């Protein structure tokens, strides 16, 4: 039997970004398959907003490439890219901690009643 290999829906290859002399992304690479959902979490000023901005075309990378299936999209304007981005300023609830916010964002109402928040969030906080 011959297995077919499907190209990732989105590939980020060796992307780097600096603002002046301050690097915010250093050689970032990842692949996202069709149907996957990506969330980028971290402390402030670690590049979480810059990665989606580059993918969406709002910022340019200093180096590396972004591929949609097998085609480069680096030169496409944002409105031509098939990417949606929700930035934390608009999506987060400032009165909630991460442990309280993740189940809300992921829609796990039933699960919340059965497990502690810490146990429930372990997969997202690794």
Dihedral angle, C-alpha 26, 32, 37, 43, nearest 10 °: -10
> What is the CATH code for 1-91?
3.40.50.300
**What pLDDT is attached to residue 71?**
92
**What pLDDT is attached to residue 14?**
97
Token pair belonging to 48: 């979480």
Interatomic CA distance for residues 99 and 120, integer angstroms: 9
**What pLDDT is attached to residue 18?**
92
Which is it for strands 10-19 and 63-68: parallel, antiparallel or unpaired?
antiparallel
User: Residues 34, 8, 55, CA angle at the centre, nearest 5°?
Assistant: 85
User: Nearest to residue 49, comparing CAs of 24, 22, 20?
Assistant: 24
Low-confidence ranges of the chain (pLDDT < 50): 112-114
Token pair belonging to 70: 């097998």
**What pLDDT is attached to residue 10?**
92
**What pLDDT is attached to residue 66?**
94
Q: Where, residue-wise, is CATH 3.40.50.300 in the chain? A: 1-91
Dihedral sign from CA coordinates of 88, 90, 95, 96: negative
């Amino acid at each position: 039997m011959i297995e077919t290999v499907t190209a990732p829906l989105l590939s980020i290859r060796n992307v780097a970004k600096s603002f002046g002399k301050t690097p915010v992304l250093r050689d970032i690479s990842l692949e996202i398959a069709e149907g996957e959902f990506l969330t980028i979490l971290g402390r402030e000023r670690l590049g979480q907003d810059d990665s989606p901005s580059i993918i969406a075309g709002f910022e340019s990378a200093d180096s590396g490439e972004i591929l949609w299936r097998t085609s480069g999209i680096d030169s496409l304007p944002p409105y031509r890219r098939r990417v949606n981005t929700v930035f934390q300023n608009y999506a987060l609830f400032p009165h909630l901690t991460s442990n309280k916010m993740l189940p809300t964002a992921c829609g796990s109402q039933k699960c919340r009643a059965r497990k502690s928040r810490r146990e429930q969030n372990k997969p997202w906080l690794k």
